[in-house]
């Protein structure tokens, strides 16, 4: 049993390894899809698999250089209007990559993955900059770019890999060292956000048993479904209603 408070934050070298591996896993999933699977609807209502992949490619390439990142946010800001900035950014990414063939999309994502993982973990000054994030419930949080670079971008691709697997009926490639580490980091943040005692048993290759104190709620669920609930993709009650950014 792991005490949630003892789960260390993801270090920059670790973040690079996780980021590169996660993009490679997404590439492997997309490269194996049949034409009809690219058109399947996903848990993101506005996106089919093809649009979701366009977003992931945009996020991958968009964080390979300062000019690229600035251009992406500038274009996203124009599209966002009164909506949160991230809505405009993702809409820009999908539209900008809509002309690509699926083969081109996969090839470019594979090429950009290692560059993105390297670039976003080698920005010691930029990572201290603040940014605002507005969630769907209207809550606004201030994040550091380091949190975005080292945590959120990998979580985002990881959750979209889950989305693609669900949309196409594919089995997820899950390992304790990779997926289990991402899930453990989510558990640690979830525990900090709600601050209540719990014992949590997550099943599956990405799972584990976690606690803050044993006098709290006892929860058992699949590790992937736990993350889907925290991301708002599945219903969650009690402590599972506590949202965590992905």
Q: Is the pLDDT of residue 136 over 60?
A: no
Domain made up of 9-173: CATH architecture: Up-down Bundle (1.20)
Domain assignments of the chain as residue spans, ordered by start:
9-173, 175-246
> Which pTM does this prediction carry?
0.93
User: Is residue 134 pLDDT above 90, yes or no?
Assistant: no
CA triple 175-178-179, angle to 5 deg: 70
Predicted confidence band of residue 1 (pLDDT cuts 50, 70, 90): confident
Q: Nearest to residue 173, comparing CAs of 27, 38, 14, 19?
A: 27
Give the residue among 213, 205, 156 at the shortest CA–CA distance from 181. 205
pLDDT computed for residue 8 by the predictor: 93
DSSP state of 97: T
pLDDT at 168: 97
| Sequence-distant contacts of 14-17: CB under 8 A, at least 24 apart | 14/181, 15/117, 15/120, 15/121, 15/149, 15/150, 15/151, 15/154, 16/117, 16/118, 16/121, 17/117
Answer yes or no: is pLDDT of 83 > 90: no
Helix (H) or strand (E) holding 26: helix 12-31
pLDDT digits (tens, 9 = 90+) for 11-68: 999 999 999 999 999 999 999 999 999 999 999 999 999 999 999 999 999 999 999 9
Instruction: Calculate the average pLDDT of the chain.
Output: 93
pLDDT at 138: 66
User: Which residue would you say has higher pLDDT here, 130 or 56?
Assistant: 56
The yes-or-no verdict on residue 156 having pLDDT over 60 is yes
Lowest mean pLDDT among 20-29, 101-110, 175-184, 211-220: 211-220
* pLDDT at 137 (0 to 100): 59
> Mean of the pLDDT values across residues 139-165?
93
Question: Can you give the pLDDT at residue 144?
Answer: 87
| Per-position DSSP letters for 53-94, written without gaps between them | HHHHHHHHHHTSSHHHHHHHHHHHHHHHTTS-HHHHHHHHHH
Element spanning 144, H or E: strand 140-144
What pLDDT was estimated at residue 59?
Answer: 96
Strand partners, 46: none
Q: How many CB atoms lie within 10 A of CB 27?
A: 24
Distance (Å, rounded) from C-alpha 134 to C-alpha 87? 10
- Give Cβ neighbours of residue 141 (< 8 Å, ≥ 6 apart): 132, 133, 135, 245
Distances (CA, A) of 61 to 38, 65, 94, 138, 236: 20, 8, 12, 28, 33
- Residue 168's SS3 state is helix
Question: What's the pLDDT tens digit per position in 197-224?
Answer: 999 999 999 999 999 977 788 999 999 9
């Amino acid at each position: 049993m792991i005490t949630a408070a003892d789960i260390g934050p993801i270090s920059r070298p670790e973040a690079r390894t996780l980021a590169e591996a996660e993009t490679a896993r997404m590439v492997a999933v997309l490269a194996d899809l049949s034409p009809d699977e690219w058109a399947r609807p996903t848990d993101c209502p506005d996106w089919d698999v093809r649009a979701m992949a366009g977003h992931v490619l945009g996020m991958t390439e968009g964080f390979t250089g300062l000019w690229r990142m600035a251009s992406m946010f500038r274009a996203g800001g124009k599209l966002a209007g009164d909506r949160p900035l991230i809505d405009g950014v993702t809409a820009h990414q999908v539209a900008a990559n809509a002309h690509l063939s699926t083969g081109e999309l996969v090839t470019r994502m594979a090429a950009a993955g290692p560059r993105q993982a390297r670039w976003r973990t080698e920005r010691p000054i930029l990572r201290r900059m603040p940014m605002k994030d507005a969630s769907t419930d209207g809550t606004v949080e201030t994040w550091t770019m380091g949190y975005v670079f080292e945590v959120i971008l990998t979580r985002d691709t990881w959750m979209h890999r889950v989305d693609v697997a669900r949309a196409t009926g594919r089995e997820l490639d899950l390992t304790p060292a990779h997926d289990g580490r991402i899930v453990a980091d989510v558990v640690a943040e979830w525990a900090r956000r709600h601050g209540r005692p719990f014992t949590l048993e997550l099943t599956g290759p990405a799972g584990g048993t976690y606690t803050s104190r044993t006098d709290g709620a006892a929860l058992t669920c699949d590790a992937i479904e736990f993350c889907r609930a925290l991301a708002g993709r599945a219903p969650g009650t009690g402590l599972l209603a506590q949202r965590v950014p992905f």
